[in-house]
Structure 1
Amino acid sequence: MNETSTSKTIELDRFMAVPMFCASLTFLYFVAAAVQEFNSETVYQSDEASLYFVKLTVLMFPIFLAEALAHCWIGSPRWKMALLRSLLPPLRLAARDHETGTTMWLPLLGWREVDEDLHEEVERAFSGPMILVALMILPLLSISLVWHYRIDIGQYPWLQVIVETGYSITWLAFTVEFIVMFSLVDKKFHYVRKHWVDLLIICLPLVAFLRVLRISHLLRLQQVTKASRIYRLRGLALRFWRGIIALDMLSRLMQLDDDRRIEMLEELVAEKEEELEKIREQIAELETRVESKSKVAAPQITSATPVEDTEAA
């Protein structure tokens, strides 16, 4: 890799950081809107709007493909990752640089080295907004439960808009948090295993959306009885998803308890002690290396001493 191509890769990364972050966020917004419209309580009125957002989502793929082809053209070291992200555009939200893969651009932080300090800083930044989402989801669940029938028949369209917008924001918040934190950690399998509930919350609406969309096409919704089957299937998936969100949000709120905070701090201390142990091992290796070098050099100094004494005499 020559210096010219290296500088071009860095320049392209710096130039595309903000636009591609916004494009990824817009892509996720369209997905959230499509899924939520499709899973809307008023199912017969929402299919057209859902397909509209699906089309907008598909139209955004060339943007990510164009960036990947640009990195291929200039010979970026990590052009294969760029091609992979063009197939999964949400991953571009917190993509690492295409030169070394050790830095990342994030809003308000700019380009930063990906390390434990950045991980902790971003985790703290997400904690506040996610608590607000937790506090928001509880009233939404109450509204959906109490006014379910009235929303279903379209009696309160403004209330339906509030509920659907709230759930879209909830899904978007979970997705953005998971993608950013997943991109920051090195032990990705460990992170997925630890946050499998969050991954389920993200994937369940997408899986339900694709499956129900396929069944809708096969059953041909012109028949009312078949359409009612689709409606019940959507409603079941939506209620299950909301139940998982409620449990996850309650667990997040419980983390504010002193006992839970002590447990989290103890886990953090254990991680830090593990890092310190690795640093001590590195120091011990360096000290052993220095001692071995000094022992090799010591005989040479000793042999030179008698000569100096003879010249002095």
Structure 2
Amino acid sequence: MSVSAASISGPVPHGGGVRHGLMLGVAVAFLTVVGLVLPHGESGDSFREWCLGHALFFPLVLTLWAVVIVEGLAGLTVTQDALAERLRRLVLTALLPPLRMIVATSKPRGWLWLPGMGWKPVGEETSEQLEEKLALPMVILTLLVLPVLGAELTGGETLENHPRMAFATHLTTCVIWIGFTMEFLWMIAAAPSKMAYCLKNWVNLVIILLPLVAFLRVLNLFRFTRMLRAGRLLRAYRLRGLWARLWRVVLLFNLLERLQQRDPAKYCASLEKKIEDLEEELAKLRTRLAEQRGKMPQE
């Protein structure tokens, strides 16, 4: 059941587009900086090390982080939501600045500000509109995995002898990861049931989390660089390659799934299946209601 503006407590929010647009840019910038240093495969090691070693890298990260925190503190007095709810949003954005794309202390509960769409109520209707708007761009973005695979096959297993190709491959995979992360955040924010959306789109979640898991392994690599002669670092590097291949496989699976959704016949079949599931759930609810009414004392 979709959620309409009338079913949400409080008036429809107005204004704030400039503020939320600027903070969206800050959140995306933070996400981009993180994406550049994540290991998305066996390419981009030298560029990632250059970023982490650059004098401006950590000051840039801290500046973007501080902007999110300061804006969150300033937004505590904007809405009339409960103080505990506003503080919860502040903690979320302070811990994970990219969440500022969808969460803000100045955002009324039950509403989202989306670029190009303005204020929208959280619910099925907004989720469907957002999914339709993002469908084609995400298919195009997912197709980028094909030239990435081609570059890796052409350039060799590690692309060590092709630095420019390795750099382009790393940037392309960064763009893919950033796009998937942004889509997931927007879609889960608009979804009426967050857990149901995660279960339905677990592949997208895997695509986002795999580089983060691999990054933890990279930290261990830096910690144990002196163990290269003992072979432990080499084994860890090969294991990271397995993570990278798994990420590619999941991306290809996601691409096939998205292409199937673009097929009208298959899309209609999926809608029919969704209607059948809803009708089955409605029948169960009616049965339970009848059972409960039967237990009530008769007047």
Q: TM-score range by the shorter chain?
A: 0.7 to 0.9
Query: Amino acid of the residue matched to residue 68 of structure 1?
Result: G
- Paired position in structure 2 for 1:85: 93
Following TM superposition, by how much is the alpha carbon of 1:145 offset from its aligned partner in structure 2, in angstroms? 2.2
- Paired position in structure 2 for 1:152: 159
Query: Amino acid of the residue matched to residue 110 of structure 1?
Result: G
- Paired position in structure 2 for 1:234: 240
In terms of fraction of residues, the more helix-rich structure is 1
SS of alignment partner, residue 109 of structure 2 = coil
Following TM superposition, by how much is the alpha carbon of 1:147 offset from its aligned partner in structure 2, in angstroms? 2.1
- Paired position in structure 2 for 1:48: 50
Following TM superposition, by how much is the alpha carbon of 1:127 offset from its aligned partner in structure 2, in angstroms? 0.4
Following TM superposition, by how much is the alpha carbon of 1:264 offset from its aligned partner in structure 2, in angstroms? 2.4
Gaps of 5+ in 1: 1-5, 278-313
Is the 8 Å Cα contact of residues 75 and 104 (structure 2) preserved in structure 1? no
- Paired position in structure 1 for 2:196: 190
Query: Amino acid of the residue matched to residue 79 of structure 1?
Result: R
Query: Amino acid of the residue matched to residue 198 of structure 1?
Result: N
Q: TM-score, normalised on structure 2?
A: 0.76
Distance 1:128 1:222 in 2: 47
- Paired position in structure 2 for 1:142: 150
- Paired position in structure 2 for 1:20: 23
Distance 1:272 1:127 in 2: 24
SS of alignment partner, residue 119 of structure 2 = strand
Are residue 130 (structure 1) and residue 138 (structure 2) matched?
yes
Alignment RMSD:
3.2
Distance 1:146 1:15 in 2: 45
Query: Amino acid of the residue matched to residue 216 of structure 2?
Result: L
Inter-CA distance 173–181: structure 2 relative to 1 (3 Å threshold):
same
- Paired position in structure 1 for 2:289: none
Inter-CA distance 273–23: structure 2 relative to 1 (3 Å threshold):
farther
Query: Amino acid of the residue matched to residue 146 of structure 1?
Result: T
Q: TM-score, normalised on structure 1?
A: 0.73
Q: Percent identity?
A: 29
Distance 1:220 1:143 in 2: 28
SS of alignment partner, residue 120 of structure 2 = strand
For 1:32, which of 24, 31, 35 is the aligned residue? 35
Following TM superposition, by how much is the alpha carbon of 1:184 offset from its aligned partner in structure 2, in angstroms? 0.4
- The higher-RCO structure (CA 8 Å, 6+ apart) is 2
Distance 2:270 2:104 in 1: 28
Are residue 121 (structure 1) and residue 129 (structure 2) matched?
yes
Q: 1:193-225: per-residue Cα shift (whole Å, max 9, x none)?
A: 111111111011101102321x22431348454
Query: Amino acid of the residue matched to residue 234 of structure 1?
Result: R
- Paired position in structure 1 for 2:207: 201
Is the 8 Å Cα contact of residues 43 and 231 (structure 1) preserved in structure 2? no
Q: 1:214-241: per-residue Cα shift (whole Å, max 9, x none)?
A: x224313484545433432322221121
Gaps of 5+ in 2: 1-9, 284-299
Following TM superposition, by how much is the alpha carbon of 1:167 offset from its aligned partner in structure 2, in angstroms? 0.8
For 2:223, which of 207, 218, 222 is the aligned residue? 218
Distance 1:190 1:207 in 2: 23
Are residue 60 (structure 1) and residue 64 (structure 2) matched?
yes
Distance 2:167 2:115 in 1: 29
Query: Amino acid of the residue matched to residue 219 of structure 1?
Result: F
Aligned length: 266
Following TM superposition, by how much is the alpha carbon of 1:128 offset from its aligned partner in structure 2, in angstroms? 0.5
Are residue 168 (structure 1) and residue 170 (structure 2) matched?
no
Are residue 251 (structure 1) and residue 257 (structure 2) matched?
yes
Is the 8 Å Cα contact of residues 34 and 50 (structure 1) preserved in structure 2? yes
Which structure has the larger Rg? 1
SS of alignment partner, residue 57 of structure 1 = helix
SS of alignment partner, residue 104 of structure 1 = strand
Is the 8 Å Cα contact of residues 104 and 114 (structure 1) preserved in structure 2? yes
Inter-CA distance 204–58: structure 2 relative to 1 (3 Å threshold):
farther
Inter-CA distance 42–272: structure 2 relative to 1 (3 Å threshold):
closer
Query: Amino acid of the residue matched to residue 216 of structure 1?
Result: L
Following TM superposition, by how much is the alpha carbon of 1:141 offset from its aligned partner in structure 2, in angstroms? 1.3
Distance 1:275 1:103 in 2: 27
Distance 1:108 1:49 in 2: 32
Inter-CA distance 45–103: structure 2 relative to 1 (3 Å threshold):
closer
In the TM superposition, what are the counterparts of 1:285-304 in structure 2 within 5 Å?
Answer: none
SS of alignment partner, residue 186 of structure 1 = coil
Distance 2:92 2:178 in 1: 22
